[in-house]
Amino acid sequence: MDMSLVAAVMAQQAGATQQQVATSVLKQNLNAQKAAVLTLLGGAQQTLSLANAGPGVGGNLNIAA
């Protein structure tokens, strides 16, 4: 077998391994971003649920005390 052919096959295998690692890291990053967005949206939905509270609830907050 020609050595250049062997080198080409080894390079292809290395490239395939790098692609698998990159895909795995990308998936983990996307899952982390999804979790962050869901956390932020969940917090916003909790604060928006106070919109149905009576008038004046949470309107004035005395932070000097």
DSSP reduced 3-state for 20: helix
> Which pLDDT does position 25 carry in this prediction?
96
Provide the pLDDT for residue 39.
85
pTM: 0.54
Distance between CA 24 and CA 6 in Å, rounded?
27
Instruction: Give pLDDT, residue 54.
Output: 72
Instruction: Note the pLDDT of residue 16.
Output: 95
- Look at residue 53 in the predicted model and tell me its pLDDT: 72
Query: For residue 49, how far is the Cα from the chain centroid?
Result: 25
Low-confidence ranges of the chain (pLDDT < 70): 1, 43-51, 56-62, 65
